[in-house]
């Protein structure tokens, strides 16, 4: 999945597949996670957020099921 770099101290990049509603986040630690059933508006909001880390914490982390990518 193609990811867009983010100007964030927590999240390095974010990608989104609208056909599967999967959001893929790469954190600055190098860990990559996929979040499922994420609406396109959440992806757009993440990219536009003043703080991607805060947006993630408040709107994604405990809301959507996720899986770490090995």
pLDDT recorded at residue 2: 94
Whether 69 and 60 have beta carbons less than 8 Å apart is answered as no
Helices then strands, each counted (H, E), the chain? 2, 5
Cβ(34)–Cβ(69) below 8 Å: yes
pLDDT the model gives residue 32: 98
pLDDT tens for each residue of 17-27: 999 999 999 99
pLDDT digits (tens, 9 = 90+) for 28-65: 999 999 999 999 999 999 999 999 999 999 999 999 99
How far apart are the C-alpha atoms of 16 and 34, rounded to whole Å? 9
Euclidean distance between CA atoms 20 and 51, whole angstroms: 25
């Amino acid at each position: 999945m193609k990811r867009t770099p983010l100007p964030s101290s927590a999240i390095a990049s974010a990608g989104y597949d609208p056909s599967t509603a999967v959001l893929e986040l790469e954190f600055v630690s190098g860990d990559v996670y996929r979040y499922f059933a994420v609406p396109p508006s959440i992806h757009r909001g993440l990219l536009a957020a003043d703080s991607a880390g805060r947006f993630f914490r408040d709107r994604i982390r405990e809301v959507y099921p996720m899986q770490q990518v090995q």
